[in-house]
Amino acid sequence: MLRAVSGHLHRSLAATAIDRAALGSVGAGAVAARRFAAEADSSVVEIKDSKHFDDLVTNEPRKLAVVDFTAVWCGPCRVIAPVYAALSKAHPEVTFTKVDIDNADVRSVVEKHQVTGVPTFVFYKGGKQINSFTGVQRDKLLQLIEQHK
């Protein structure tokens, strides 16, 4: 059974400018709209199937690739999504992807990575997995991108 993992949620919310602005004096609907807009204005590519995953991630000889295993029903995933989207814009030299764990076409990718909680972030470089973690850990996400880019 998969679980949503909040990790360091309180620190992530406090440290995220997007969320601070969104949580100001507006209602939840406006927060959701801003998060959706942030995701729409990103360079995150949704993986459609295992071939697409191989093309973008495992067959990439040099670039860092980050994979976000996510689910639409996952609250912590919705918290980290605008941060991930903003990082994709700030780091065009990195390939940012996401995998919807409930999409049957990517089931083999999810099983290969033994995803047991979401969000799970997996880092690849030179076609090889180099790191991973589960949970809303904004600082760790940024640190690993900076370390491996």
The string of pLDDT tens digits covering residues 71-109 is 999 999 999 999 999 999 999 999 999 999 999 999 999
Q: What is the dihedral of CA 24, 31, 117, 110, to 10 degrees?
A: -140
* pLDDT, position 6: 53
**CATH code at position 133:** 3.40.30.10
* pLDDT, position 5: 60
Q: How many CB atoms lie within 10 A of CB 73?
A: 12
**Of 60, 72, 37, residue with least CA distance to 129:** 60
Q: Which parts of the chain have pLDDT scores under 70? A: 1-41
- Any catalytic annotation for residue 74? yes
Single out the catalytic residue among 47, 67, 77, 85: 77
Model pTM score: 0.76
* pLDDT, position 42: 80
Give the domain extent around 44: 3-148
Single out the catalytic residue among 5, 64, 74, 115: 74
Helices (H) and strands (E) in the chain, counts: 7, 7
If one counts the domains in the chain, the total is 1
Which residues are registered as beta bridge partners of 54? none
